[in-house]
A and B are shown apart, each in its own frame.
Chain A
Amino acid sequence: MFTSVDDVRARLAESGYLASPAVATTVFLADRLGKPLLVEGPAGVGKTELAKAVAQVAGARLVRLQCYEGVDESRALYEWNHAKQLLRISAGRDETWDETRTDIFSEEFLLPRPLLAAIRGDEPTVLLIDETDKADVEVEGLLLEVLSDFQVTVPELGTITASRRPFVVLTSNASRELSEALRRRCLFLHIDFPEEELERRIVRLKVPGIEAALAESVVRVIGALRAMDLRKAPSVAETIDWARTLLALGATALDENVVRDSLGVILKHQDDILKAGAKLDLDAV
């Protein structure tokens, strides 16, 4: 899919995703070694965006499995279409049982769910397993087979093996420790808050029309806030929101009033806002 790390970076940038060297290297390796990519990091640094961007540059189909507590085999892997099977049985009234049985457990009655759908296709595919940590431990066992051999066993049909390996991205917010077995099968990528220079470029890309000086001040203030001990440090998503807000307010430079009024965009807890206000000397005015 990619020829070099620079190729990854350039092509992701074309699709509007500015990758840090760590991200570009790991994506390149995931493609080259054919291993799934486990992405962790704080909320709002672009974990899901990364999968979408990869799908876009590779011209691949994006299959997404959103995990939640209680997601199970029939939601993740496959399910038999019972209603259709019943119709089929009642339609073929004078058949023998053997004929019916072989017929209703065929591909026609199989409802593929994301994992199976990603494996079965012939076209290039990006499989995004979002918020893996929300799923129960049992689902991890299911993922192990799919992610190590890229095959799915359906008892009535046999084993379905991928003709073309999908590019797999798993994301996690680390609310639960994923099992060691799953981690071992994946390349690990921790996306942290970006470097100042990269974040400036992200802001200018996502918020066209913002002036360079304003973008720089925004990123510097956000950087100072992240260095503080806050309950929820502002993420890239908040930086972009804030830049958009400032643009909408018609601000051309930061000053006490503007910052005080718009601090709620970047900080989501009252005590964080108070703390930041003290740090930035907002009350001195």
Chain B
Amino acid sequence: MSAEAADRLVGLVAALRAHGLRVGTGETVDAAEAAAALGFADRDLLREGLAATLLHSPDQRRVFDTVFDLYFPHGVGAPAGEPGDRDDLRDRLAAALADDDAAMLARLAIEAVDGLGGYGSSPGADGWSSYQTLERLRPQTLLARVREDLRARGGDAGFADRLLEDEIRRRIESFRSLVAGEARRRVAERRGRDEIARRAVAPTADRVDFLYAGKDRLAELRRTVQPLARKLATRMAARRRRAARGTIDLRRTLRGSLSTGGVPMRPVLRRRRPARPELVLLCDVSGSVSGFSDFTMLLVQALHDQFSKVRVFAFVNRIDEVTGLLEHGAADPEGLGARIRAEATLTGYHGSSDYGVALGEFVERYGAAVGPRTTVFLLGDARTNMSDPNLAALRRIAGQARHVHWLNPEPRSLWGTGDSAAPEYAGAVAMHECRNAHQLGLLVSRLLPV
């Protein structure tokens, strides 16, 4: 393998590591062997070969694909030939969308970025923008045209015709990501590959900050709830099994040894009763943290058979029980947040969150829900909008419960800034930073009582 190719490969691995993928030297060597066996002629084969040797789980694939496109681009520089104007591009794009011609779409993305995406003229301040390209090209407005075109061509397509719009929408969506990738490639040529690979590549879904996750990333996260819950459940079951082996019960062993003249022939193990804990969840569902709360509620619901009882309460500045809305099967993950806000009484006179009042109301109305076998999880950013944090209510909950944990989706460095009452609350109960699904999984498996 040439030195240049090896450098390229090592750069790719370094960029993957910067995104939290654990790639060892052994895998890098394997990847090099794979590249040597496959050759560099066919880019798709190379992509699959490197993915097979470097990756360990499917959710890393998205990061890998973007980074791969930067380190092994399909070409260098601008495409040959004069860039077509907007109307010409739109015509050809409509035809390619109608034919579902992947190769043509890829070529159009290259031309579109070249023709429409460039901005700035002085070196250092110029670049290519996928946003500008898409704003000028507006591929979403081609939907009706492509649909009519296809209908006219296919005559009466029958039953599957009703799926047509969604299919075209998906093709447009994939064209948009092609444009984004192409703009990234052009910028990387200008600014340096390594920098772009570290900064402009979206992280894997489980490392996206809850607070800044967009709608599609949250949807992607929701799909990971079931697998994550299954993994946590097996981990907990294994822990329970290990715990059940137990220590020697000295009293009963000695008692039993009386029949063998005081020699303990048969050691008696202490028997553990697997206590199925009760769980109470208090979730702030106000706008700022609702993504986090919804995700955690779904996760706990998916874990429901690990507990004897799960009760979920939601609050903004009033608190209400929403356990019923999370019933298994009935829960439609997508609309969950909206349904909670529609059906439960969460706000009083105003719409901003107030932890003090909500905690006070919880103690008053649902105080009996917390007993000595209960673990309480509080979810929220502890931003009380300057009102009284009502520490007394939280202390009362902590006094009644077995454990109380507070999961805060804000980075630790922001606790206590502005209207955050996090330090006060953290003084009363254990508060943990929980910014993404990865951290949440770790916390849940560590904190949940078994």
A188-B56, A227-B170, A271-B329 are contacts. A255–B26 as well, Cβ < 8 Å? no
Q: Evaluate contact between B52 and A187: CB separation under 8 angstroms.
A: yes
A71 at the interface (CB under 8 A from B): no
Q: Total A-B residue pairs with C-beta atoms closer than 8 Å? A: 104
Q: Evaluate contact between B49 and A25: CB separation under 8 angstroms.
A: yes
A21 at the interface (CB under 8 A from B): yes
A29-B38, A33-B33, A176-B231 are contacts. A40–B160 as well, Cβ < 8 Å? no
Q: Evaluate contact between A29 and B52: CB separation under 8 angstroms.
A: yes
Which of A102-110, A118-126, A149-157, A214-222 forms part of the interface with chain B? Answer: A214-222
Q: Evaluate contact between B27 and A184: CB separation under 8 angstroms.
A: yes
User: What residues on B are CB-neighbors of A21 within 8 Å?
Assistant: 44-45, 48
Chain A: minimal CB distance from B276 (Å)? 21
Q: Evaluate contact between A217 and B52: CB separation under 8 angstroms.
A: no
Q: Given A33, A189, A220, which contacts B160 in the complex, CB threshold below 8 Å?
A: A220
User: What residues on B are CB-neighbors of A190 within 8 Å?
Assistant: 57-58, 61
Q: Evaluate contact between B37 and A254: CB separation under 8 angstroms.
A: no
B424 at the interface (CB under 8 A from A): no
User: What residues on B are CB-neighbors of A32 within 8 Å?
Assistant: 33-34, 37
Chain A: minimal CB distance from B178 (Å)? 16
Chain A: minimal CB distance from B292 (Å)? 20
- How far, in angstroms, from A216 to B58 measured CA to CA in the complex? 28
Interface string of B260-274 (1 = CB under 8 A from A): 000000000000000
- How far, in angstroms, from A175 to B223 measured CA to CA in the complex? 15
Q: Evaluate contact between A255 and B49: CB separation under 8 angstroms.
A: no
Q: Evaluate contact between B158 and A254: CB separation under 8 angstroms.
A: yes
Q: How many residues of B contact A (CB 8 A)?
A: 41
Q: Evaluate contact between B234 and A175: CB separation under 8 angstroms.
A: yes
A176-B231, A223-B167 are contacts. A188–B52 as well, Cβ < 8 Å? yes
B166 at the interface (CB under 8 A from A): yes
User: What residues on B are CB-neighbors of A269 within 8 Å?
Assistant: 329
A268 at the interface (CB under 8 A from B): no
Q: Evaluate contact between A5 and B163: CB separation under 8 angstroms.
A: no
Q: Evaluate contact between A224 and B163: CB separation under 8 angstroms.
A: yes
A22-B48, A184-B27, A254-B160 are contacts. A33–B37 as well, Cβ < 8 Å? yes
User: What residues on A are CB-neighbors of B57 within 8 Å?
Assistant: 40, 183, 188, 190
A99 at the interface (CB under 8 A from B): no
Q: How many residues of A contact B (CB 8 A)?
A: 41
- How far, in angstroms, from A217 to B158 measured CA to CA in the complex? 9
User: What residues on A are CB-neighbors of B37 within 8 Å?
Assistant: 28-29, 32-33
Q: Given B24, B33, B45, B159, which contacts A259 in the complex, CB threshold below 8 Å?
A: B159
Task: List residues 28-85 of chain B with CB under 8 A from any CB of chain A.
Answer: 30, 33-34, 37-38, 44-45, 48-49, 51-53, 55-58, 61
B149 at the interface (CB under 8 A from A): no
Chain B: minimal CB distance from A62 (Å)? 22
Q: Evaluate contact between B38 and A25: CB separation under 8 angstroms.
A: yes
- How far, in angstroms, from A112 to B234 measured CA to CA in the complex? 31
User: What residues on A are CB-neighbors of B223 within 8 Å?
Assistant: 229
Interface string of B159-182 (1 = CB under 8 A from A): 110110011001000000000000
Q: Evaluate contact between A137 and B56: CB separation under 8 angstroms.
A: no
Q: Given B30, B48, B230, B238, which contacts A26 in the complex, CB threshold below 8 Å?
A: B48
User: What residues on A are CB-neighbors of B234 within 8 Å?
Assistant: 175-176
B145 at the interface (CB under 8 A from A): no
A216-B160, A220-B163, A280-B162 are contacts. A184–B26 as well, Cβ < 8 Å? yes
Q: Evaluate contact between A224 and B167: CB separation under 8 angstroms.
A: yes
B139 at the interface (CB under 8 A from A): no
Q: Evaluate contact between A29 and B167: CB separation under 8 angstroms.
A: no
User: What residues on B are CB-neighbors of A189 within 8 Å?
Assistant: 52
B227 at the interface (CB under 8 A from A): yes
Chain B: minimal CB distance from A214 (Å)? 10
Chain A residue nearest to B54 in the complex (CB):
A188
Chain A residue nearest to B26 in the complex (CB):
A184
Chain A: minimal CB distance from B345 (Å)? 27
Q: Given A28, A187, A227, which contacts B53 in the complex, CB threshold below 8 Å?
A: A187
B135 at the interface (CB under 8 A from A): no
- How far, in angstroms, from A252 to B329 measured CA to CA in the complex? 35
- How far, in angstroms, from A256 to B161 measured CA to CA in the complex? 12
Q: Given B26, B34, B227, which contacts A29 in the complex, CB threshold below 8 Å?
A: B34
Q: Given A188, A192, A221, A254, which contacts B55 in the complex, CB threshold below 8 Å?
A: A188
Q: Evaluate contact between A221 and B160: CB separation under 8 angstroms.
A: yes
B91 at the interface (CB under 8 A from A): no
- How far, in angstroms, from A183 to B30 measured CA to CA in the complex? 13
- How far, in angstroms, from A229 to B56 measured CA to CA in the complex? 25
Chain B residue nearest to A225 in the complex (CB):
B163
Chain A residue nearest to B55 in the complex (CB):
A188
Chain A: minimal CB distance from B330 (Å)? 8
Task: List residues 217-232 of chain B with CB under 8 A from any CB of chain A.
Answer: 219, 222-223, 227, 230-231
User: What residues on B are CB-neighbors of A40 within 8 Å?
Assistant: 57-58
Q: Evaluate contact between B158 and A33: CB separation under 8 angstroms.
A: no
User: What residues on A are CB-neighbors of B22 within 8 Å?
Assistant: 180
- How far, in angstroms, from A216 to B100 measured CA to CA in the complex? 14
Q: Evaluate contact between A33 and B30: CB separation under 8 angstroms.
A: yes
Chain B: minimal CB distance from A47 (Å)? 13
Task: List residues 382-399 of chain B with CB under 8 A from any CB of chain A.
Answer: none
- How far, in angstroms, from A30 to B7 measured CA to CA in the complex? 24
- How far, in angstroms, from A269 to B34 measured CA to CA in the complex? 42
Interface string of B323-336 (1 = CB under 8 A from A): 00000011001100
Q: Evaluate contact between A281 and B162: CB separation under 8 angstroms.
A: yes
Interface string of A1-44 (1 = CB under 8 A from B): 00001000000000000000110011011001101000010000
Q: Evaluate contact between B52 and A25: CB separation under 8 angstroms.
A: yes
A253 at the interface (CB under 8 A from B): yes
| Chain A residues within 8 Å of B, Cβ to Cβ | 5, 21-22, 25-26, 28-29, 32-33, 35, 40, 137, 174-177, 180, 183-184, 187-190, 192, 216-217, 220-221, 223-224, 227, 229, 253-256, 259, 269, 271, 280-281
- Sample (20) of A-B pairs whose CB atoms are under 8 Å apart: A26-B48, A29-B38, A33-B33, A33-B53, A40-B58, A174-B227, A175-B231, A177-B231, A183-B56, A188-B51, A192-B58, A220-B160, A221-B159, A223-B167, A229-B223, A229-B334, A254-B159, A259-B159, A269-B329, A271-B330
A253-B159, A269-B329 known; 9 new pairs, CB 8 Å cut-off, are A22-B51, A25-B48, A29-B52, A33-B53, A180-B22, A184-B56, A216-B160, A221-B160, A281-B162
